[in-house]
Amino acid sequence: MLEFAISVAQEAGALLRDRLNTKFQVAHKGAINLVTEVDLASEALIRERIVTRYPRHQILAEEGGLADSSSAYRWIVDPLDGTTNYAHGYPVFNVSIALEYQGEVIVGVVYDPMREELFAAEKGGGATLNRKTIRVSATSELIKSMLSTGFPYNIKTSSLTNLDHWTNFAMNAQALRRDGAAAIDLCYVACGRFDGFWELNLSAWDTAAGGLIVKEAGGQVSDFSGGTFSNYTPEIIASNGLIHQQMIDVLALTEQK
């Protein structure tokens, strides 16, 4: 199943790479939440491959929602993570494919076609980048850490904007980055490029594959209070584990206001 997910992610990633900077239609799902015809083409390709190989499995994908069944297996798919980047020709985007079994993620693949970087993990089998084992960083102090995050599409209307957290982390970490593709952010934690990541209002297709890759690389994933993380809840911290409590403490600063 891991090799199948890798193959499909690479095929969909090639489609994204080939269509970048060509003419394609862009629609709005919200004021600033975009979907392109390339998202839809990538998702159609992935769904077709899964249905052909595993016709009884469930599929949860960003654009088409849930194709439900009685199967204990559920594929969780983001056919184009980083749609806004893609629509602007900013080459930071990926394909994310995960597989749940009885509610637990057991396979995760994130493919960045522009850098030809393939992140993959299987539960209990470790995490890899282009087939080579990766590990989280050894940074133990938040003030020496580079962190990443993102902002929700409803930032103009929601009270959960992440702006207070951004300010607090800017004062307590070494550096912050905002790349606009959560699955890549998580994979960069897994391979030690980032020391930690936090975000609000993400969906299962944003975090399922990347979260497993972080854990299999020796990192830690939780909600903002340090509790058990679920791909179906709206907050996530992922870190190398060493700075995890320090990140929780900074996130708590907003709650104390």
Question: Which 3 state secondary structure label does DSSP give 116?
Answer: coil
Q: What tokens does 26 get? A: 């862009």
Q: Which residues of 231-243 are buried (b: 16+ CB within 10 A; e: fewer)?
A: beeebbbbbbbbb
CA distance 113 to 26: 21
User: Tell me: the pLDDT tens digits for 110-132?
Assistant: 999 999 999 999 999 999 999 99
Q: Are 69 and 58 in contact (CB under 8 A)?
A: yes
**The domain that contains 83 carries what CATH number?**
3.30.540.10
**Share of residues in the chain with pLDDT > 90 (%):** 80
Phi-psi region of 21 (alpha: psi -120 to 50; beta: other; left: phi over 0): left
Q: Are residues 107 and 188 in the same domain?
A: no
**Structure confidence by residue, pLDDT tens digits, 163-208:** 999 999 999 999 999 999 999 999 999 999 999 999 999 999 999 9
- pLDDT (0 to 100) of residue 32: 45
**Structural domain range at position 48:** 2-133
- Look at the chain and report how many structural domains it folds into: 2
> What is the CATH number for 162?
3.40.190.80
CA gap 135, 162 in Å, rounded: 28
Pick from 114, 133, 152: which residue ends a domain?
133
In angstroms, rounded to a whole number, what is the distance separating the alpha carbons of residues 187 and 190?
A: 5
Give CA 182 to chain center in angstroms: 4
pLDDT tens, residue by residue, 71-113: 999 999 999 999 999 989 999 999 999 999 999 999 999 999 9
Nearest-angstrom CA–CA distance, 216 and 82: 24
**35 has a pLDDT exceeding 90:** no
